[in-house]
Each structure stands twice: as C-alpha cells, then as structure tokens.
Amino acid sequence: MSTTDVLPFVLAAARRGWHVFPLAYGTKRPDRRFRDWERHATNEADRIRAFWGRGRFNYGIATGPSRLVVVDLDTPKPGSEPPPEWQRPGITEGADVFAALAEEHQAELPLDTFSVRTRRGGLHLYYARPEGSAYRNTTGKLGWLIDTRARGGYVVGPGSHVADEDGAGTYAVENPAPVGPLPDWIARRLPALEPVRITSGQVNAMLANHPHAAGYAAAALRGEVDRVLATRRGHRNHTLNAAAFALGQLVGGGLLPKHLAEDALTAAGRQAGLGANESEATVRSGIQAGLREPRGGAA
C-alpha cells in the first residue's frame, strides 16, 4: 500500500473530526519521528498532507481528542482459553462476550455505529463520548477479550496494513454509519476520570511528571492557569482561548506536552465557571491555533 492509498482514509477520518497521527508502516506503533503522538494528532487537512508527504505510514486515531470511546472486540490467540466466568456455551471470542453482556443488561446489541474490522477478525466499535465525561483505557474490564480506548489511547485507523508475528492484514471499515452514542450500560461499567481542581501547586505536581518541559514553558503554564482562574465573569472564554493559544505555540515549539497543557487549562476553565464542553472546545481550538504559530522560548 502506498502513501496515496492510505491518505484518503486519513482525510476521511479527519473530516469526521477525529485527530490522527502517523504509525510506522506495517505496525501499530507510532512512528519514531512522532513519539509524542498526542501532540502531533490533528484533524487539519494541510498538516495531514504534510505528515503523510514525508513517507509511507499507517495511521492512528487518538480517541481522547476525538471524543471517542472505542470498544475493541478481539479474537483469541491460538491456545488461549476463556477465564472460568466466561467458559460458557457459545463464548469463543470478544464479540460473543459483548453480546452476552448486552443480553444481561436487557439491551439491544449496539452495532449501529461506525465500526472497523481488524486484520485478525476482531471488531472496533466507535462510540461518542458522553458530554462532560471522560474515561480511562481498559483491558478486560468489560469482559474477556474486550478492551476500550478513550482518554490517552488510540486505535489503528481503517486502511492501515499491519504485519507482525500475529499475522498480516488490513483494517477495513465494517459499518460506515455515523458514530452512535456510548450506551449507558457500557458507560456505567467504565472507570471515569474525575474533574481536576487546579491550583499552582497542582500544576507544579503535574510538571514534576514532565521533567523535559522547558523552564520557560513551565512558568508560562503556571501563569496562564493563574490568569484563567482569576478572570471575571464575562471574560472567561476569551481568556481561556488566549491562554490556550499561547501554550499551543509552546507545544508547537516542542517545549510543552500537548496533553499537559490541555489537562491544566481545561481544569482551570471548569474551575473558573465554564462548562465542561465549552472548556474542552475552547482549549482544543486555542491550542490548535497556537500550533500553527510555534515559538521556542522567550525573546
């Protein structure tokens, strides 16, 4: 598969509003030039063409920025057996477990949503994250051979070709339908991320986990968070957008991790009195604008 083969799939994902980034061709791993995949993930067509113009890539869809929860129904590897609780008649793979869970919750099997058939015969079911919520990735939380990808995760996009010790194949769109809402019975079983209340001390603690953030950028992050928290009613959205733009420039300059700026500013916006959706949208828009005008430090 050539660059021109996969590019239409990447652009189609971006048109749905999903944030994409390059994976090394033939693998499910971020390309070595794009290790900080959350920072590089984008839905801007010009940036996508520039990325894929550099070489031959697969692509990943960053589920957090794309406001997705993807349920991954896997198939068992040779020789694997279900755990005792799933040793039931008719249970041979993740799709069977998923159907059994829907039946237990007296719910219809939620298949009327965008879905992708994986190269090993599994299925990715794409759902829209509920407004004002956030979820962690899970492995086996819902049941045997069922994983989920949400905040901090990604899935291999359709059109990508993967070949490794588990086999070779291409991810293909199974159902091109619009993305459906995450069913309540699934949401109740997933671990939710609690809203973060943010202070300068907490920003310092967050930065302690990112020693590579430049000193200038760290000071800017603290300053922008404080500015948002101190803003008067009626000016909060504008101030949050300006803060996101300023930090987006530093993210673009490689001085600050994108997810750190997003987390801190979104929490600050919510604490200042903005709604969860407004905070997330404003921060995302501001950072994307800043990425287009990167800067590397103080003049």
- Same domain as 252, residue 169: no
Residue 77 belongs to some domain of the structure: yes
- Predicted confidence at residue 4, as pLDDT, reads 47
75 and 30 both lie in a single domain: no
pLDDT of residue 34: 75
List the CATH number of the domain containing 121.
3.30.2250.10
Within-domain flag for 298: no
Q: Are residues 118 and 226 in the same domain?
A: no
Q: How far apart are CA 266 and CA 142, in angstroms?
A: 28
Q: Is residue 195 in some structural domain?
A: no
- For 168, the domain range is 68-187
Residues 128, 31 within the same domain:
no
Same domain, 51 and 85: no
Residue 114 shares a structural domain with residue 58: no
Give residue 152's pLDDT.
81
Domain presence at residue 192: no
Residue 38 lies in a domain: yes
pLDDT of residue 257: 80
Asked if 77 and 158 sit in the same domain, the reply is yes
pLDDT on residue 298:
38
51 and 98 share one domain? no
8: in domain: yes
Domain boundary among 137, 162, 187: 187
What is the reported pLDDT for 297? Answer: 45
Q: Look at residue 65 in the predicted model and tell me its pLDDT.
A: 86
The reply to whether 76 and 177 lie within a common domain is yes
Number of domains, the chain: 3
pLDDT of residue 40: 75
The answer to whether residue 179 is domain-embedded is yes
Q: Is residue 296 part of a domain?
A: no
Q: Model-level pTM greater than 0.75?
A: no
Domain boundary among 42, 62, 82: 62
Q: Do 77 and 32 share a structural domain?
A: no
Q: What is the pLDDT of residue 199?
A: 63
Asked whether residue 206 falls in the same domain as residue 133, the answer is: no
The ranges of the chain with pLDDT < 70 are 1-4, 39, 132, 194-214, 296-299
In sequence order, the 6+-apart residues with CB closer than 8 A to the CB of 86 are: 97, 143, 144
Q: 231 and 275: one domain?
A: yes
Give the model's pLDDT for residue 1. Answer: 45
Domain boundary among 130, 164, 187: 187
What is the rounded CA–CA span in Å between residue 163 and residue 27? Answer: 6
